[in-house]
A and B are shown apart, each in its own frame.
Chain A
Amino acid sequence: MLDTTEYDEDLIMFRDTIRRMVEKDVAPIAAKIDQEDDMPHSLVPIFGDLGLIQIMVPEEYGGPGGTLTMACIAKEEVSRASFAVSHLVGATSIAMALPLTHYGTDAQRQKYLPEIAEGRTLTCIGLTEPQTGSDVSGIKTTAKRDGDDYVINGQKVFITKADQAKYILLFARTSEGKGHDGISSFIVPMDSPGVKIGGSPKKMGLRGIKNCDLFFENVRVPAENLVGEEGQGFKNAMGVLNLNRPTVGAASVGIAQGALDAAMAYAKEREQFGQPIGNFQLVQAMLADMAIQIEAARALLYKVAAFIDRDPTHPQVPMYSSMIKTFASDMAMKVTTDAVQVFGGAGYLQDHPVERYMRDAKVCQIYEGTNQIQRLIIARAMLKG
């Protein structure tokens, strides 16, 4: 494959290191994680020691000070074997490292980032509610000021890795503002009295990562846990998600590459009519199309990542961030579907990894903002000029 990132020596070493780790520690258990819908906790210290969980924590707080490009390299490499495990890469980015770096107070950064920098703490982000998906303004969870505290009541759903998280960045209404106004974000320790973790639904893919229901009943947090200004929660959340969304594109590229790797191996090995199916032109065309699409997505991915690393406040960040997320996840859906096709009947069995890649690819079109919402963001940014 092309080295699209104009990789420097450090990035190559970083990628090679992750590739080796994945080969040894992730690939052998990827299928089991999916089948048992359970990811071993022993992966946390491995990813933490490599600096991957805390990748975005700045150096001044003891973190690796990684870039979005690095996060994307890591996510791509891990997703190539296991999409579920790739969620350990940057597992504290959107709930801690990015919001505190961009919107937090010095005191908050001092308090939380050194702990996060150790690479042993997982966090989660609580936006989605039963009535709130693409329409974040529908948030019904409330945070009412009471003396020096806020008291939080409400319910969240689909909260990724809530079962393993020590902290949640929770979004709640602090006032009855119109639309997005009046939403604020809080750091809530998951062991706070009144926080209850509910069940986690069985999913089509992304198995091994739990997406939990969460209940908040009179959960009290000190006012100092408010991240950013009151009422600015939605705006800040979008700012942070824009900076991280390309990593969904990176995971998509990794999933697609993993599926192509498997399809290539199968095409060389599987024989029909006395010869490997890779000799047949219709199979060759599928393999070529898969590779073309992956390379195109990867090229855009690292172009966008480099752009955001250079100027994270550029007004076109949201547009390009949405572009790569949409393009790469649509690509992954198509490529993984074709990979199953190359395998034929065998691809429909769980004996081979391609059906898992196909199930995993689907959620990349849905989560971190559906591809429909992304297209609206892109078109509106274009029309606004």
Chain B
Amino acid sequence: MKVLVPVKRVIDYNVKAKVKSDGSGVDLANVKMSMNPFDEIAVEEAIRLKEAGKAEEVVAVSIGVKQAQETLRTALAMGADRAILVVAADDVHTDIEPLAVAKILKAIVDEEQPKLVIAGKQAIDNDMNATGQMLAALLGWGQATFASELDIDGDAATVTREVDGGLQTIKVGLPAIVTADLRLNEPRYASLPNIMKAKKKPLDEKTAADYGVDVAPRLEVVKTAEPPVRSAGIKVESVDELVSKLKEKGVV
């Protein structure tokens, strides 16, 4: 079985995002970028399937700017077998929308014929939470989103999903799309020997045009704003005062 793992290059989760002065988005110039953390979990899960003898090949795909090849190298260093880079933008600030990504992924799935696509449930930059679902719709495949547990048995996947207020376990026939939630696994560190091996692994470079997909945005960003600054708290002198303040606020 072949597993396809789409990975996205996003602003590093440790970086404090700054909004561009014109409000058009987050400033990404000279900012540290990394693999979307949920995608890292997806890569880890695919590699574990391979290690468990349930998958033969793990292919990582990234769609975006040319620099996304660094993200793919990370996936290769973690243990993916090969990678496909689809260059679809020149400017690091161009975000390819989920539908365009899903269309390109569909074309790659048609070509590669994986039995399973594991994607991160969402990217931490735009929090769209849409690509996996759109890809499932375009392919007509089953989907199991927000996975916290994945087990492959023959032609079906048993997936535990993190839903509001609890867990739901479903069985989905393969081929299928699974999207990874935070608790699916804890991704490994790429070891030094695997980092060295990664550069010898194949990385194919394509363009969006190769797949005949129009990546022009359909959405317009109207405004981007920093979260409101928390105002300073106040100190109370006594428990009685605390209680009365809370009552004033209608909290108790």
B73 near A9 with CB under 8 A, answer: yes
Given contacts A13-B77, A16-B34, contact A21 B189 (CB under 8 A): yes
A14 and B195: CB pair below 8 A?
A: yes
If A9-B70, A50-B189 touch, whether A17 touches B34 (CB-CB below 8 Å) is no
Q: Which residues of A contact B190 (CB under 8 A)?
A: 13, 17
| Complex alpha-carbon distance, A13 and B78, angstroms | 11
Would you call B195 and A10 a contact (CB within 8 A)?
Answer: yes
Q: Interface size for chain A: under 10, 10 to 19, 20 to 34, or 35 or more residues?
A: 20 to 34
Please give the distance in Å from B191's CB to the nearest CB on chain A.
Answer: 5
Q: Is A65 located at the chain interface by the 8 A CB criterion?
A: yes
Q: Which residue of B lies closest to A57 (CB)?
A: B193
A residues 32-81 touching B (CB-CB < 8 Å) = 49-52, 55, 59, 63-66, 70
Chain A: minimal CB distance from B210 (Å): 24
Separation of A13 and B74 alpha carbons in the complex (Å): 7
CA separation between A20 and B77, bound complex, in Å?
A: 15
Nearest CB of A to B41, in Å: 14
Chain A 3-40: CB-based contact to B (< 8 A → 1; otherwise 0) = 00000011011101100110000000000000000000
1/0 per position for A333-360, CB-CB distance to B under 8 A? 0000000000000000000000000000
- Check B192–A55 contact: CB distance below 8 A: yes
Which residues B195-238 have CB closer than 8 A to chain A?
A: 195-196, 198-199
Compute how far the CA of A64 lies from the CA of B77 in the bound complex, rounded to whole angstroms: 13
In the assembled complex, which residues on chain A have CB atoms less than 8 Å from the CB atom of B189? 17, 20-21, 49-50
Query: B54-112: which have CB < 8 Å to A?
Result: 70, 73-74, 77
Bound complex: CA of A70 vs CA of B70, how far in Å? Answer: 19
Residues 173-198 of B contacting A (Cβ, < 8 Å): 188-193, 195-196, 198
**A21-B195 Cα distance, complex, nearest whole Å:** 15
**Which of chain B's residues has its CB closest to A74's CB?**
B192
Q: Which residues of A contact B73 (CB under 8 A)?
A: 9-10, 13
The 9 closest A-B pairs by CB, nearest first: A51-B192, A64-B192, A64-B193, A51-B191, A17-B189, A50-B191, A51-B193, A17-B190, A21-B189
Task: List, sorted by A's number, 7 A–B pairs whose CB atoms are closer than 8 Å.
Answer: A10-B199, A13-B70, A14-B195, A21-B189, A50-B189, A52-B192, A64-B191
Chain A residues near B (Cβ < 8 Å): 9-10, 12-14, 16-17, 20-21, 49-52, 55, 59, 63-66, 70
